[in-house]
Structure 1
Amino acid sequence: MPAISRMCTNAMTLAVTTALVGCGEHGPRPWQGYVEGEFVYVASSQAGTLQTLSVTRGQQVKTGDALFELEATFEQAAQARARDALASAEAQSRDLQTGKRPDEIAVAAAQLKQAVAVRDKALAQFDRDQTQYAAGGISREQLDASRADARSSAARVQELQSSLAVARLPGRQAQQQAQTAQVDVARASLAQADWQLAQKRPAASAPGRVYDTMYRVGEWVPAGSPVVRLLPPGNIKVRFFVPETTLGHLRAGQTVHIACDGCGAGMPARITYVADQAEYTPPVIYSNDTRDKLVYMIEAHPAPADAVKLNPGQPVQVTQP
């Protein structure tokens, strides 16, 4: 066989072999990717000394578990002050709605009873004086004095009757509305104090793994500075890259299969994002020969129960079922 023919045959054999290797012995070659975590940085809106660190790195926490606590002497005092102010405002509101105290009403009733007795005595004396005046037994001046005394006693009775009625009435409507507003203000102040105190004791908002802690007990923590870094299972995702020729076959919502070292039989994941731009662009003009060098990033989320088996940065292989 001529040398040129042997060279052509060897080239064709190499091309076929390369094509077969590209497809793999058991199907298409898997796409390469890695695990990525979207961390939750837990911080307090208030500054303070780190008093308690309730978690350690690698620990699994549940929703509502305490993470850390900052010194809160000022916030505790503010909460107690706001609670007392609310109790005082509510007591004044109840007092306006019920009128005067029973003892005060009893005093007013006794005064009225005494005034009625004085009035009855004055009226009886006036009747007698009228008879005496008709008979000529007393002067006109004495009769006028008796009449004035009777009228004064009657007026005193009316005054005490009105006072007793007012004592039994609740406060005026405007006073009640003003006091109700004071109660609302005190209640809002207590809610604010409760919130500020709760900010000194953050809790886990979702189950997850404590990936890192940034401060030690006794250190000063500025407001807004993260103390604990959490990784919830729902925030673990897989990023992998596919060639441009495969991009059209993948859509958000489709299921892919993830394999990795230590994953056993692997796990399914749902595609949540498909990039619309290439991650890598070769420094050449596009042509049919260079299109296969373009790769596009795709993100997929495994189920939370499977996600806990993965670690950020871990390499994975992804295939389409």
Structure 2
Amino acid sequence: MILTNRLTVMSVKTRRLSPQRWGKMLANLLGAALLLQLTACGDESPRVLGTVERDRLTLTAPVGELINQINVVEGQQVQAGEVLLELDSTAAKARLGQRQAELKQAQAKLEEAVTGARSEDIDKARAALDGANASVKEVQQNFERTQRLFKTKVLSQADLDAALAARDTSLAKQAEAEQSLRLLQNGTRSEQLEQARAAVEAAMAGVAQEQKALKDLSLVAARSAVVDTLPWRVGDRVAAGSQLIGLLAIEHPYVRVYLPATWLDRVKAGSQVKILVDGRAQPIAGTVRNIRSQPAYTPFYALNERDRARLMYLTDIDIAPEGEDLPTGMALEVQLP
């Protein structure tokens, strides 16, 4: 009631003012309002909203297999090198055993090629040559006898041809025995040694590949992290490439904000900003890590000059060590320089 009366009195007094006084009062009010607005604009730094983020690590299935064992649950903190999940390794172990057997076989052939023939093999080849020589001597005598009898018309042409064929066959076996003995005495050729060494190297590469495949069936945390997603259970069969576990890295959190296009000339990679967190009296220092080169919203070529101010650029800001305990997904403000 009192306030109403005062307003009524002020209104009556206002009506009694002259036009000159009324204009002067209005000018003073406008000037004071403009001064207050400029002062407020000068004191208040621009702020953008953002959320706390951490590096996301995704562990996928290297092959299609059954889940044999799960050692963690969602929300559990894990350390680097810790085994989180294991896939069935029966088939992988069988393939590794096959490759190891092939390696042993290749190594044995290489050793045989390097060592050369044994003395027993050489003696055996020499004995075979002696037998071939004796056979040649026998069939040669038989051929000469058949030839004399053929001339006296005692034996036919067919008998002479059979004796000639037997002699030629015996001579061929003699030459074969000589070559076999010479091959054993001379040893393995350099080309054969290179082939044997190459076979060993190929077998070793196959073993290493299968060992790596077997090791990959145990999914290990690469960094200290928190298990974020784990939608599988023991006994599930997963396809190759399926996401098995999602991790959130514990160290080095950062703030992700959308920077207006009008501030690109004042905020650069390496710029220092202040991170304002509800419940904390002092701001946390932050350093701009990266500003995306492409806007997150409408492409610039589709906008006019007035609408370009609405473009937003995704920006990552590293948080100082005193803010590493901020939870992932927390909303906060960033005061730009």
Fold match (TM-score > 0.5): yes
Task: Report SS of the residue matched to 1:189.
Answer: helix
Partner of 1:53: 70
Shift of 1:229: 0.6
Task: Report SS of the residue matched to 2:288.
Answer: strand
Q: CA 1:246 to 1:303, structure 2 compared with 1: closer, same or farther past 3 Å?
A: closer
Is the 8 Å Cα contact of residues 67 and 233 (structure 2) preserved in structure 1?
A: yes
311-320 or 219-228, larger mean C-alpha shift: 311-320
Partner of 1:310: 326
TM-score, normalised by the number of residues in structure 1: 0.66
Q: Which amino acid aligns with 1:257?
A: K
The counterpart of 1:300, out of the listed 316, 331, 334, is: 316
Is the 8 Å Cα contact of residues 258 and 313 (structure 2) preserved in structure 1?
A: yes
Partner of 1:270: 288
Q: CA 1:270 to 1:242, structure 2 compared with 1: closer, same or farther past 3 Å?
A: closer
Matches within 5 A, 1:17-28: 17-24=36-43, 27-28=44-45
Partner of 1:237: 254
Q: Which amino acid aligns with 1:39?
A: R
**For residues 50 and 304 of structure 1, what CA distance do their matches in structure 2 show?**
40
**For residues 255 and 75 of structure 1, what CA distance do their matches in structure 2 show?**
52
RMSD: 3.9
Q: CA 1:48 to 1:298, structure 2 compared with 1: closer, same or farther past 3 Å?
A: closer
The counterpart of 1:195, out of the listed 187, 191, 212, is: 212
TM-score, normalised by the number of residues in structure 2: 0.63
**For residues 261 and 317 of structure 1, what CA distance do their matches in structure 2 show?**
9
**For residues 89 and 73 of structure 2, what CA distance do their matches in structure 1 show?**
22
Is the 8 Å Cα contact of residues 292 and 315 (structure 2) preserved in structure 1?
A: yes
Matches within 5 A, 1:136-147: none
**For residues 94 and 306 of structure 1, what CA distance do their matches in structure 2 show?**
64
Is the 8 Å Cα contact of residues 53 and 68 (structure 1) preserved in structure 2?
A: yes
Task: Report SS of the residue matched to 2:219.
Answer: coil
The counterpart of 1:207, out of the listed 204, 213, 224, is: 224
The counterpart of 1:76, out of the listed 93, 100, 109, is: 93
Q: CA 1:311 to 1:54, structure 2 compared with 1: closer, same or farther past 3 Å?
A: same
Partner of 1:153: none
Matches within 5 A, 1:130-279: 170-232=187-249, 236-261=253-278, 265-273=283-291, 277=295, 279=297
Identity %: 22
Shift of 1:199: 2.5
Task: Report SS of the residue matched to 2:229.
Answer: strand
Q: Which amino acid aligns with 1:188?
A: A
Structure 2 unaligned runs (5+)?
Answer: 1-16, 131-176
**For residues 280 and 235 of structure 1, what CA distance do their matches in structure 2 show?**
31
**For residues 267 and 35 of structure 1, what CA distance do their matches in structure 2 show?**
14
Shift of 1:4: 6.6
**For residues 172 and 21 of structure 1, what CA distance do their matches in structure 2 show?**
93
Q: Which amino acid aligns with 1:267?
A: A
Is the 8 Å Cα contact of residues 48 and 71 (structure 1) preserved in structure 2?
A: yes
Shift of 1:243: 4.7
Is the 8 Å Cα contact of residues 237 and 299 (structure 1) preserved in structure 2?
A: no
Task: Report SS of the residue matched to 1:202.
Answer: strand
Q: Which amino acid aligns with 2:113?
A: L
Is the 8 Å Cα contact of residues 67 and 201 (structure 1) preserved in structure 2?
A: yes
Partner of 1:34: 51
- Post-superposition CA distance 1:50-98 (Å, at most 9, x none): 1122333233334333221111100111111111211221122112101
The counterpart of 1:91, out of the listed 104, 108, 114, is: 108
Shift of 1:49: 1.3
**For residues 87 and 306 of structure 1, what CA distance do their matches in structure 2 show?**
58
Is the 8 Å Cα contact of residues 255 and 319 (structure 2) preserved in structure 1?
A: no
Partner of 2:140: none
Q: CA 1:34 to 1:223, structure 2 compared with 1: closer, same or farther past 3 Å?
A: same
Q: Which amino acid aligns with 1:254?
A: S
- Post-superposition CA distance 1:118-138 (Å, at most 9, x none): xxxxxxxxxxxxxxxxxxxxx
Q: Which amino acid aligns with 1:272?
A: N
Is the 8 Å Cα contact of residues 58 and 245 (structure 2) preserved in structure 1?
A: yes
Q: CA 1:224 to 1:167, structure 2 compared with 1: closer, same or farther past 3 Å?
A: same
